[in-house]
Amino acid sequence: MFESVAPVKRETLQSIVHARLCDLILEGQLAPGESVTVASIAKALDVSPMPVRDAISRLMALGALTVVSGRSIGVPRLGLEELDDMLRVRLEIEATAVRWAAGNVDKAFLGALESVLEKMEEAERSDRVKDFIRSNYDFHFTIYRQAASPLLLQLISNIWLRINPHFHLLHRHGHYRVSNRQHRKIFEALQKGDGETAVDALHEDIESAYKVIAATLSEGDATG
C-alpha cells in the first residue's frame, strides 16, 4: 500500500533551526528586555526567514518567546503566578531527575560534572554573565541527562526555555556565588551517592533563585 510513499527525512531544516534557537535561549544568549528580529536570526544562522518563523511559532506556543513590538521577538516577562507555578513544578520534576541520576553515577559522569562546575565557578569569579548561565545550564542538564529518561528531560527542557533567560536577573544581586555554593553541595552529594542530600541542595538552589527573581520582578512592577 505504501510502496510509493517517500520516506520522511529524519532531520529537517525547521527542526535544526528550532533546536538552535532552543540552544541560544538555554545558553543565555537572550535576556529579558532584549529583542531580536526574524531577519537577524536568519542572517546569524544563514537560513531563509521561513524556518525561523516556524521555529519562533513553536517557541511562542511554549511561552518561551513573544512578540515585543512590530517585528521584534523577545523573552516574555514572567508574572508572579507563573513563577510560583514554575517553582512548584521544578521542585518536583528536577528533584526526581536528581534522584534517578544519583542511581546512575559513574566516574565519567562525575568527571564531566566537576569540569562544568569549575567552569561555572571561574565564570562567576570573572563576572562573565553569559558564560555562567551557559555553564549553569550545562551543570544541571549533565545531571538530568544522567537520569536516563528522555521524557523527563523534555519536560524539564520546556520549563527551562521559559525560566533560563531570567537567570540574568540574578547577576545584579550577586547571587551567582550563592548558587555555586549550592552546586558544589549537589556535586559532593552525588560523589557520595547521596541522592537525598543532592535533592536538598537542589531545592536550596531553585528556591533561593526564585526569591531573587520574584523580588526583582516585583521591584519592576513597583517602578513601572
C-alpha cell at 99: 534522584
Predicted pLDDT of residue 33: 78
SS3 214: helix
SS3 67: strand
Pick among 1.10.3720.10, 3.30.70.2750, 1.25.40.10, 1.10.10.10: CATH of 13-74: 1.10.10.10
C-alpha cell at 108: 565519567
- Cα–Cα dist 148/143, whole Å: 10
- Quickly count helices (H) and strands (E) in the chain: 9, 3
Predicted pLDDT of residue 178: 93
C-alpha cell at 72: 521584534
C-alpha cell at 209: 533563585
Predicted pLDDT of residue 223: 46
Contacts of residue 37, Cβ cutoff 8 Å, sequence gap at least 6: 71, 72, 73
For residues 56 and 13, the answer to whether their CB atoms sit within 8 Å is no
Domain locations along the chain: 13-74, 80-223
Predicted pLDDT of residue 27: 83
Predicted pLDDT of residue 67: 87
Say which residue the cell 550563592 belongs to.
178
| Predicted structure pTM score | 0.87
Predicted pLDDT of residue 24: 86
Fold category of 80-223 in CATH: Four Helix Bundle (Hemerythrin (Met), subunit A) (1.20.120)
Question: pLDDT tens track of the chain, all 224 residues?
Answer: 445 545 445 458 888 899 989 988 888 888 887 888 999 989 988 999 999 999 999 999 999 999 887 788 988 888 899 999 999 999 999 999 999 999 999 999 999 999 999 999 999 999 999 999 999 999 999 999 999 999 999 999 999 999 999 998 898 778 999 999 999 999 999 999 999 999 999 999 999 999 999 998 887 554 44
Query: Would the CATH topology of 13-74 be identical to that of 80-223?
Result: no
